[in-house]
Amino acid sequence: MVDVDEFVEEKIAEVGSAIGDENAVIALSGGVDSSTAAALSYEAVGDQLTPVYVDTGLMRKGETDTVRETFAYMDSLRIVDARDRFLDALEGVTDPEQKRHAIGEQFIREFETVAREVDATHLVQGTIYPDRIESEGTIKSHHNVGGLPERIDFDGIVEPMRDLYKDEVREVARELDLAMAERMPFPGPGLAVRVLGEVTAEKLAVVREATHVVEEELESYDPWQAFAAVLGKATGVKGDNRVHGWVVAVRSVESRDGMTARAQELDWETLQRIQSRITGENENVARVVYDVTHKPPATIEYE
Ligand code: XMP
């Protein structure tokens, strides 16, 4: 990317001419990529663009409110409360790829409803360069909106950031004054890939709170991603009783593009503070462990 002002101007013009007088939709997740693509495209076509935020219940703590506040200036913003429908779709599903598939399907259904309502002919996507590389391989069914263009017959797909790396997207986000500019990446399937096995409301509540603690406590380490995951159950002691509680893993990694990553070296006091907050705030957590594995051989997420 040559110059960020120029890039923004050029892309606004490009999006404007691609959409013309028609209507477009974008799936807004609250992450830096989709937020940047939405803000940039909204500059170009205003309310001809409908940003759709689906509250899957798999989002980080406070996410829906952040999105509502940040994009309050967009009259066309749609917030869809689909939390119960996602939990239903995930009931009994334990295989990681099937989980992604169930989430993707439900997401498309929710998104499709709005796209049809607003007569959208164009789809704007926040795809960035590393997404295209990973999707070309068989690493995973990467994007929860990956199946959209096949399902809905759009006249055009607009991807203003398709050639950018993450750090370049952040520059654009800063240029557009987006609060999300410095946020860590968050996977499309959300907290579902941070809960091993079946996704339940209880596990989601544990992972959501624990992730919030980890993000807060590790902010000064400036990680690429830092989060918690729920691994399973193990024995612990609460008061005088032995209990069977959740095992929460803490992960914090450095990376440039997510393709490889290094586990961060954290000091003991920080780790202990995280442990004590997570076990203190949730009495069903019996154990907190720190993941020291790089990528490869591990992936960043747990599923
Ligand atoms: P992994 O876990 O494969 O993750 O090392 C690499 C980067 O991609 C994010 N990630 C996803 N993003 N849909 C997404 O949009 C997904 O299914 C998905 N899985 C992983 C992950 O958070 C990391 O930044």
Specify whether 56 is located in the same domain as 129: yes
Domain containing 115 equals: 4-182
Specify whether 128 is located in the same domain as 220: no
Q: How far is the CA of 112 from the centre of ligand 1 (A)?
A: 23
Per-residue pLDDT, averaged over 275-284, amounts to: 95
Specify whether 29 is located in the same domain as 129: yes
Per-residue pLDDT, averaged over 213-234, amounts to: 97
Specify whether 171 is located in the same domain as 205: no
Q: Which of 142, 211, 255 to mutate to test the pocket of ligand 1 (most atoms within 8 A of CB)?
A: 142
Last residue of a domain, one of 129, 148, 182: 182
Nearest CA residue ID for atom 21, ligand 1 = 187
- Answer positive or negative: Cα dihedral of 276, 282, 283, 286: negative
Specify whether 176 is located in the same domain as 219: no
For 261, other C-beta atoms within 10 Å of its C-beta total 23
Answer whether residue 193 is part of any domain: no
Region of poorest pLDDT, from 105-119, 135-149, 228-242: 135-149
What is the model's pLDDT at position 132?
82
94-135, pLDDT tens digit by residue? 999 999 999 999 999 999 999 999 999 999 999 999 888 766
Q: Which CATH number belongs to the domain containing residue 233 in this structure?
A: 3.30.300.10
Q: Which of 161, 301, 302 to mutate to test the pocket of ligand 1 (most atoms within 8 A of CB)?
A: 301
* pTM across the whole model: 0.91
Last residue of a domain, one of 153, 182, 211: 182
Nearest CA residue ID for atom 12, ligand 1 = 187
Q: How far is the CA of 78 from the centre of ligand 1 (A)?
A: 25
Ligand 1: list residues with CB < 6 Å: 100, 140, 142-143, 185, 187-189, 193, 225, 258, 295, 299-301
Nearest CA residue ID for atom 7, ligand 1 = 258
Last residue of a domain, one of 151, 182, 213: 182
H-run or E-run covering 209 = helix 201-217
The number of the ligand 1 atom at minimal distance from the alpha carbon of 302 is 2
Answer whether residue 302 is part of any domain: no
Specify whether 10 is located in the same domain as 141: yes
Q: How confident is the model at residue 136 (pLDDT cuts 50, 70, 90)?
A: low
Specify whether 174 is located in the same domain as 204: no
Specify whether 177 is located in the same domain as 211: no
Specify whether 169 is located in the same domain as 280: no
Q: How far is the CA of 18 from the centre of ligand 1 (A)?
A: 29
CB proximity list for 235: less than 8 A, separation 6 or greater: 242, 243, 244, 245, 286
Answer whether residue 163 is part of any domain: yes
* 71 and 41 Cβ atoms separated by less than 8 Å: no
The number of the ligand 1 atom at minimal distance from the alpha carbon of 144 is 13
Specify whether 12 is located in the same domain as 144: yes
User: Considering the chain, what is the average pLDDT of its residues?
Assistant: 93
Could you give the CA distance from residue 249 to residue 265 in angstroms, rounded to a whole number?
A: 15
Nearest CA residue ID for atom 18, ligand 1 = 187
Answer whether residue 114 is part of any domain: yes
40-69, pLDDT tens digit by residue? 999 999 999 999 999 999 999 999 999 999
Q: Is the peptide bond before 223 cis (omega within 30 degrees of 0)?
A: no
Give Cα 159 distance to the centre of its chain: 18
Nearest CA residue ID for atom 17, ligand 1 = 142
Q: How confident is the model at residue 1 (pLDDT cuts 50, 70, 90)?
A: confident
Answer whether residue 187 is part of any domain: no
155-211, pLDDT tens digit by residue? 999 999 999 998 999 999 999 999 899 889 899 899 999 999 999 999 999 999 999
Answer whether residue 300 is part of any domain: no
Specify whether 208 is located in the same domain as 177: no
Q: How far is the CA of 187 from the centre of ligand 1 (A)?
A: 5
The structural domain count of the chain equals 2
Q: Which of 107, 300, 303 to mutate to test the pocket of ligand 1 (most atoms within 8 A of CB)?
A: 300
Specify whether 131 is located in the same domain as 8: yes
Q: What separation, in Å, do the N-terminal and C-terminal C-alpha atoms of the chain show?
A: 33
Answer whether residue 208 is part of any domain: yes
Could you give the CA distance from residue 142 to residue 123 in angstroms, rounded to a whole number?
A: 18
